């Protein structure tokens, strides 16, 4: 059985959400705060940006302690498993942490995003304003 969707928000954020979802503010440097947010949650889908990949270890450790059943790390891109250099190595390290915690996880590899691939080519032929006015 899946728990009710509870978006997690950074402590101090002024974000609001419409509908029945409950927003829980979290201080990612405080393990108790993370555990509180994850208590009763079955699946964690991490969507932290690249600059915040280091917090996933804290989130995963807290998830393990409150019996989260599945962790989805913020992968979204190319295959990172076994990589030893660059951003992919950082992602691979998160997977290694999940394995060490014995926390079940699933990594989704989406491949490159279209905007990363096509923008260099499109911008050669069109100015951004001509694209917006179409």
- What 3-state class would DSSP assign to 51? helix
In degrees rounded to 5, what are phi and psi of residue 11? -55, 130
Q: Which of 14, 22, 91, 99 is catalytic?
A: 91
14 carries an active-site annotation: no
Q: Which of 36, 8, 12, 2 is nearest to 22 (CA)?
A: 8
The residues annotated as belonging to the active site are: 91
């Amino acid at each position: 059985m899946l728990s009710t969707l509870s978006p997690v928000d950074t402590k101090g954020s002024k974000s609001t959400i419409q509908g029945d979802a409950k927003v829980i503010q979290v201080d990612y440097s405080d393990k108790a705060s993370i555990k509180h947010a994850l208590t009763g949650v079955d699946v964690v889908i991490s969507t932290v940006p690249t600059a915040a990949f280091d917090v996933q270890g804290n989130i995963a450790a807290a998830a393990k302690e409150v019996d989260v059943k599945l962790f989805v790390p913020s992968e979204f891109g190319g295959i990172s498993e076994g990589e030893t250099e660059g951003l992919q190595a950082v992602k691979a390290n998160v997977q290694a942490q999940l394995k060490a915690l014995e926390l079940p996880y699933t990594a989704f590899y989406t491949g490159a995003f279209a905007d990363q691939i096509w923008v260099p080519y499109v911008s050669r032929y069109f100015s951004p304003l001509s694209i917006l006015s179409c």
